[in-house]
Amino acid sequence: MKCPFCGEEDTRVIDSRPADEGSSIRRRRQCDKCRKRFTTYEKVEAIPLVVIKKDMTREPYDRSKIERGVFRSCHKRPVSVSKMNAMIDKIEADIFNREAKEVTSNYIGELVMNHLEELDAVAYVRFASIYREFKDVDTFMEELKKILDK
- DSSP secondary structure string, 69-130? HHHHHTTTSS--HHHHHHHHHHHHHHHHHT--SEEEHHHHHHHHHHHHHHH-HHHHHHHHHH
- Contact at 8 Å (CB) between 87 and 74? no
pTM, to two decimals: 0.63
**pLDDT value, residue 149:** 78
Cα separation of 4 and 14, whole Å?
A: 16
Q: What is the mean pLDDT of residues 109-132?
A: 89
Predicted local confidence at residue 1, as pLDDT: 87
| % residues pLDDT > 70 (the chain) | 97
Q: Which residue has the higher pLDDT, 74 or 133?
A: 74
Domain boundaries, the chain: 11-43, 50-149
37 has a pLDDT exceeding 90: yes
Answer yes or no: is pLDDT of 11 > 90. Answer: yes
d(CA 73, CA 55): 24
Question: What is the spatial order of strands in the sheet that 11-19 belongs to?
Answer: 11-19, 24-31, 37-43
Q: Give buried/exposed letters for 112-143 (b at 16+ CB in 10 A, else e).
A: bbebbbebbeebbbbbbeebeebeeeeeeeee
Q: How many residues does the chain have?
A: 150
Q: Is the pLDDT of residue 143 over 80?
A: no
